[in-house]
Structure 1
């Protein structure tokens, strides 16, 4: 029965997966799903969270700690982006009842809630997300292209809804 559930979970994960790129010389996740984005560049809004689910396999037995790190490639430069502890601690953000320690080849899903700072410029950047074990060895890594944009204000959303519900209004 567990095998059937696992197979169904893998099928569902790959059906809605986002097409991300592999990091050179690092393990690739089983699947990555960026909410509301199947094909990059993924539009992310300033002052909001970009939510990603990273489905990956443990690379060693008894992994007690996993840390997420991010960099953004902008204008040819790789700029580190420091994550808050509550986001970078992968073990705190595992889904579907998974907990650390994680064993070799155990498949788990990490929910990565990436806050897009309002001060970010409106640019397109290649964001690299790496999950590292306690020794700093990469467990998995991927790159996703993101377009950082200003989100609609409440007034703009209301106007859009009014126009949408009554297309003949002046």
Structure 2
């Protein structure tokens, strides 16, 4: 009976996943959910927050620190994008009661809230998100195509306000 419940939960969890690409030679997350995007390219608006959930497995035992990094491939060039500490610190943004350290093969979900700068040009970019442990070893990595568009209206921005009292809410 428990196997049926677990299998059903996994099937339901993958229904609303966003299709992402694997980084060459690196582990891919179990799934990624980008708000309002099942099929890339995902439309993101300047001056708003792209909300993502990254469900992944630990690659070693006792991972005490995980850092998220991002790059955007624009016109064939990879441009790094520095994340604020409160976003890049994966352990601080784990969902569903998970905490660091995490162990090998422990599945956890990271809430990644990516602020889309107002100065970004209106283009399509391949965004790479990589999670590394304290030794800078990759835990997981994915690439997703994003269409950056003109800033959202005030009513659209209200939809993206975050409820910091409930980090699991999207």
Task: State the TM-score bracket (shorter-chain normalisation).
Answer: 0.7 to 0.9
**Equivalent position of 2:161 in the other structure:** none
Q: Residues 7 and 99 from structure 1, CA distance in 2 versus in 1: closer, same or farther, beyond 3 angstroms?
A: farther
Deviation at 1:22, TM superposition (A): 0.4
CA distance in 1: counterparts of 2:62 and 2:155, whole angstroms? 51
Which one has the largest radius of gyration? 1
CA offsets per residue over residues 19-38 of structure 1, 9 Å max, x none?
Answer: 00000010010000001000
Matches within 5 A, 1:1-170: 6-154=6-154
Q: Residues 33 and 118 from structure 1, CA distance in 2 versus in 1: closer, same or farther, beyond 3 angstroms?
A: same
Q: Secondary structure at the match of 1:64?
A: coil
CA distance in 1: counterparts of 2:99 and 2:32, whole angstroms? 19
CA distance in 2: counterparts of 1:107 and 1:99, whole angstroms? 11
TM superposition score normalised by structure 2? 0.87
**Matched length:** 157
Name whichever structure is richer in helix by fraction.
1
Instruction: Note the residue ranges of structure 1 that are not aligned, 5 or more in a row.
Output: 158-170
Whether the 8 Å contact between 2:46 and 2:117 is mirrored in structure 1 is yes
TM superposition score normalised by structure 1? 0.87
After the TM superposition, which segments of 4 or more aligned residues of structure 1 sit over 3 Å from their partners? 1-9, 154-157
Deviation at 1:11, TM superposition (A): 1.9
CA distance in 1: counterparts of 2:154 and 2:33, whole angstroms? 27
